[in-house]
Structure 1
Amino acid sequence: MGSFEHKHKRFKNLEWTSYVWLVYLPYTIAAYLPVKSWRDWLWLMLVGCFLVLYILVVEKPRWRFVTIPAELAVTGLFALFAANNFMIIFPGWQVSFLLARRPKREFYWFAMAYYVFLVGGCVLDYLQFPGTFTWQDGNLMGLVFPFTSPILAYTFSRSIERQRQLNQTNRRLKTIIERHERERIARDLHDTLGQSFSMITLKAELASKLLVKAPDKVAPELTEIAQTSRQNLQLVREIVNNLHEKSLTEMLLDQTHNLAVAGVWVTTTGEAQATKWPTTVQSCFAAVLVEAITNVIRHAHAQTVTIDFTETTTSYQIVFQDDGKGSTLSRQGANGLRGMQSRLQADRGTFAITSSRRGTQLTLRLPKERENA
């Protein structure tokens, strides 16, 4: 059973993306078929040697300090002595992808050796066949892909790696946020319920003593215990309700990703202070901003979005600005706009929208006195 699980795991981890390129290998093999001379046999054996090295590079990471140079040398022989600049493209993509996670100097050494083989092969081909490289027969154009392959592969792989690291960082940030949220809940429980339950305990002990010494005073104490218990129950309900409300930080984590997918760059100011606003305020603003961002992605065709969080002595305010098509976002009768306005008005807030050629600006405001209402 353990052997089967090991093989299954090994099968799942197989580097399929590396083997996809081998579908082009038969074209090289076909160039030497049918076999007409010992040279054809030699090149076919070198193709087999290349295939073995290619697989070892993928499957045996510990051997790469040997297999990568060997693979490059074998394909370099094709470029130097067989007028075949196609074979060297294989390590150009495969190895460049692998080196994207390694120090840059390793890629620089590989690229230097790669271009020595490629340029050397082109020089020998030109000396032997002076009219080989011309635009008319397409041979010169055929050199574009071999010369650009390592750079394209390395750049693409680095981009994928940066995106992977960014996603990992976002996951870590989300974990930190969840931990801080748990700490906040613990503080709320300690500051509110802890003191109240201590009071209930003292009242219950007092009532127990009065039951013997002064029975007529027990009833008021029990009444206070019941009242305090009901208050605690209400506090618990409020805490639970707050847990279901999305904070500005959670909303921004989700929506920033959505904007990035749509090709929209977002910047914020005052975000750190806004994360300290009351939970109900954050929840109301978060719901409105989700709708605003959805409108930007669907209709505005914007490239940048700025969100400015500010606080005065009387209100909380957010200014949302995009550089898209303002006339599209502010169209009459839009359900999204009505929904945003209704949500803010339900909490005695205000909603203002202005649009111009430079984009659309939303000003969202909630009064502070609503907290004590």
Structure 2
Amino acid sequence: MNFSIFPKRFGLFPYIFLIYLGFPIYYLTKEAGMKQLLGYLMVLLFLLTYRQIYFSIGKRSFSYWLAVQLAIVFSFSLFYHLNYMFLGFFSANFIGWYQDKRLFRRGLISLVIVQLLPFIIHIVKVGSFFTTKELIYYVPFLIIMLISPFGIRSMNRRMELEKALDKANQKIEELVKREERVRIARDLHDTLGHTLSLLTLKSQLVQRLTAVDPERARHEAKEMEITSRAALQQVRELVSDMRAATIAEELIQMQQILRAAGITYQYDGEVNFSTISPFIQNIIAMCVREAATNVVKHSRATHCSISINLLSEKMNIVIKDDGMGVSVNRVFGNGLRGMEERLALVDGELTLSNHNGAVLEITVPIIKKAEGAAG
């Protein structure tokens, strides 16, 4: 069994607080005889209560150790010197750890009694009130001591809420990941089913054309290869991180990328894409990402705008910039070719033209799922 002076989760904080025990020990050097010996014994007992309270948090013994500590502070303040009242800062800190309001009020009332009663007894004994100098010395610290439990309790409650929030967020993340896996699996089945059916029909066509029209058969086979490669790549991208990118998230990313490159940004169109399949959203989001990358790298533009319109049967995305434009006859690069291949999976189309800069237009048919269909 490993022994520790204080719980490790509190770090160095408990040890730093021990510095303040040097003051009562110093004052006790001015005492003599039995009074000095009893004083040192009470300091040792106070130190024991300080340690045990840390190990008693949330337990019934917490209040017992705190009561002993308050009794020691009271004894020191009453029978030794009022300066020992500053030991009450230790107890004030622990009172703030009470989560139960009833226990917190009891602890606070006990602290008030322990701190104020020695003052009253001192006034009765001396027969006169404190001087202005004494009031300036004691009163500010006394006020701070009595209100500090509220601040500490508020801080501890906030820390507890943050811990609870972290746990809740972790649980939400787990549930989201689980839901994303189910959704991606469902969308892969629903959407890629169309592509696989297309490949099946084309393979049958190739078989018939092999003897009749070999050239067309080779062309159809090449299209099958391109479609299957794009489908495989899309599956890998979706499965790799188990979370499809959304159009809304990618629009935010696009805005940040363009602004970081010193390109102004304007968006016009829909803001709610919840009716669009996550699979299709992922394809469109990756196309938007590639378009933003091309604008930053190749366009030399100072402004870029994007508009997205949802029609009854299709979605239309237009991305414009005021840059140097493109050569319409130029063979598409890898980025644009990748966009075409992704869009082919959902029968989408891409056109690139010039109008005071480059204009990229994407059209994607909206797949509507039948509600209540049997699985």
Closer/same/farther in 2, CA of residues 156 and 279 from structure 1, 3 Å limit: closer
Deviations 1:258-284, CA, capped at 9 Å, x for gaps: xxxxxxxxxxxxxxxxxx9x8345312
Identify the residue that residue 350 of structure 2 maps to in structure 1. none
Once the 2 structures are TM-superposed, how far is the Cα of residue 45 of structure 1 from its aligned partner?
1.2
Once the 2 structures are TM-superposed, how far is the Cα of residue 53 of structure 1 from its aligned partner?
1.1
Query: 2: CA distance between counterparts of 1:132 and 1:291?
Result: 69
1:155 alignment partner, SS class: helix
Q: Tell me how many residue pairs correspond in the alignment.
A: 278
Deviates more, 1:12-21 or 1:110-119: 12-21
Query: 2: CA distance between counterparts of 1:92 and 1:13?
Result: 21
Closer/same/farther in 2, CA of residues 103 and 230 from structure 1, 3 Å limit: farther
Once the 2 structures are TM-superposed, how far is the Cα of residue 227 of structure 1 from its aligned partner?
4.2
Larger Rg: 2
Identify the residue that residue 25 of structure 2 maps to in structure 1. 29
Query: 2: CA distance between counterparts of 1:40 and 1:344?
Result: 82
Deviations 1:114-142, CA, capped at 9 Å, x for gaps: 21222222222332343335356523333
Once the 2 structures are TM-superposed, how far is the Cα of residue 48 of structure 1 from its aligned partner?
0.9
Q: Which runs of 5+ in 1 are unaligned?
A: 248-275, 296-308, 314-334, 352-366
Identify the residue that residue 249 of structure 2 maps to in structure 1. 282
Identify the residue that residue 103 of structure 2 maps to in structure 1. 106
Residues 53 and 65, structure 2, Cα contact 8 Å, conserved in 1: yes
Residues 79 and 121, structure 1, Cα contact 8 Å, conserved in 2: yes
Residues 74 and 114, structure 2, Cα contact 8 Å, conserved in 1: yes
1:153 alignment partner, SS class: helix
Residues 50 and 71, structure 1, Cα contact 8 Å, conserved in 2: yes
Once the 2 structures are TM-superposed, how far is the Cα of residue 54 of structure 1 from its aligned partner?
1.0
Task: Give the AA of the match of 2:255.
Answer: V
Task: Give the AA of the match of 1:77.
Answer: S
Closer/same/farther in 2, CA of residues 95 and 281 from structure 1, 3 Å limit: closer
Identify the residue that residue 140 of structure 2 maps to in structure 1. 141
TM-score (norm 2): 0.57
Once the 2 structures are TM-superposed, how far is the Cα of residue 239 of structure 1 from its aligned partner?
5.4
Query: 1: CA distance between counterparts of 2:144 and 2:74?
Result: 16
Closer/same/farther in 2, CA of residues 147 and 79 from structure 1, 3 Å limit: farther
Residues 28 and 39, structure 2, Cα contact 8 Å, conserved in 1: yes
Query: 2: CA distance between counterparts of 1:133 and 1:52?
Result: 36
Query: 1: CA distance between counterparts of 2:55 and 2:87?
Result: 20
2:37 alignment partner, SS class: helix
- Are 1:91 and 2:62 counterparts? no
Once the 2 structures are TM-superposed, how far is the Cα of residue 49 of structure 1 from its aligned partner?
0.5
Closer/same/farther in 2, CA of residues 203 and 344 from structure 1, 3 Å limit: closer
Identify the residue that residue 186 of structure 1 maps to in structure 2. 185
Identify the residue that residue 165 of structure 2 maps to in structure 1. 166
Once the 2 structures are TM-superposed, how far is the Cα of residue 46 of structure 1 from its aligned partner?
1.0
Deviations 1:20-43, CA, capped at 9 Å, x for gaps: 211111111111114413222222
Query: 1: CA distance between counterparts of 2:68 and 2:187?
Result: 64
TM-score (norm 1): 0.57
Identify the residue that residue 349 of structure 2 maps to in structure 1. none
Identify the residue that residue 370 of structure 2 maps to in structure 1. none
Once the 2 structures are TM-superposed, how far is the Cα of residue 86 of structure 1 from its aligned partner?
0.7
1:86 alignment partner, SS class: helix
Identify the residue that residue 46 of structure 1 maps to in structure 2. 42
1:139 alignment partner, SS class: helix
Residues 210 and 217, structure 2, Cα contact 8 Å, conserved in 1: no
Closer/same/farther in 2, CA of residues 372 and 164 from structure 1, 3 Å limit: same
1:263-274 paired onto structure 2 within 5 Å: none
Q: Tell me the C-alpha RMSD between the 2 structures.
A: 4.8
Query: 1: CA distance between counterparts of 2:187 and 2:18?
Result: 61
Task: Give the AA of the match of 1:283.
Answer: E
Residues 80 and 118, structure 1, Cα contact 8 Å, conserved in 2: no
Closer/same/farther in 2, CA of residues 312 and 179 from structure 1, 3 Å limit: closer
2:62 pairs with 42, 58, 64, which one?
64
Once the 2 structures are TM-superposed, how far is the Cα of residue 160 of structure 1 from its aligned partner?
2.8
